[in-house]
Amino acid sequence: MTRSKHVSTFIVTLGLAAGLAACAPAGTTGDGGDGEAAECNVGISMPTRSLERWINDGEGLREKLEAKDCDVDLQYAEDRTDQQISQIQNQIAGGAQILVVAAIDGETLGPVLEEAKAQDVQVIAYDRLINGTEAVDYYATFDNYKVGQLQGEYLVDQLGLENGDGPYNLEPFAGSPDDNNAEFFFAGAWDVLLPYVEEGQLVVPSGNSPASNDEWTSIGILGWQSADAQSEMDNRLQSFYTGGERVDVVLSPNDSLALGIQASLDGAGYTPGTDWPLITGQDADVANVRAILADRQSMTVWKDTRELGTQVETMIDALVAGDEVEVNDTETYDNGIKVVPTYILDPVVVTKDEVQPTLVDSGFVTAGDVGL
> Phi, psi at residue 232, to the nearest 5°?
-65, -40
Q: Least CB distance from residue 298 to ligand GAL, whole Å?
A: 17
Q: Which helix (H) or strand (E) holds 84?
A: helix 81-93
| Residue with the shortest CB distance to ligand GAL | 181
Residue closer to ligand GAL by CB (options 29, 217) is 217
Q: How far apart are CA 274 and CA 367, in angstroms?
A: 26
Q: Which of residues 54-83 bind ligand GAL (CB under 6 A)?
A: none
Q: What does DSSP say about strands 348-350 and 300-302: parallel, antiparallel, or unpaired?
A: antiparallel
272 to 291: interface string for ligand GAL, x by CB under 6 A: ----------xx--------
Residue pair 285/255 in contact by the 8 Å Cβ criterion: yes
Nearer to ligand GAL, 144 or 310 (CB): 144
Residue 51 as a binder of ligand GAL (CB under 6 A): the answer is: yes
| Strands of 41-46's sheet in order across | 71-76, 41-46, 98-101, 122-126, 138-142, 342-345
Residue 345 interacts with ligand GAL (CB under 6 A)?
A: no
Q: E-strand spans in 33-166?
A: 41-46, 71-76, 98-101, 122-126, 138-142
Using the minimum distance from each CB to ligand GAL, give the nearer residue, 224 or 343. 224
User: Among residues 84 and 181, whose Cβ is nearest to ligand GAL?
Assistant: 181
Q: Which is nearer to ligand GAL, 71 or 285 (CB)?
A: 285
Among 179, 248, 304, 317, binds ligand GAL (CB under 6 A): 179
CA 367 and chain centroid, separation? 23
Assess 323 for contact with ligand GAL (CB under 6 A). no
Residues of the shown chain interacting with ligand GAL in the complex, contacts defined by CB under 6 A: 51, 53, 127-128, 179, 181, 224, 254, 282-283
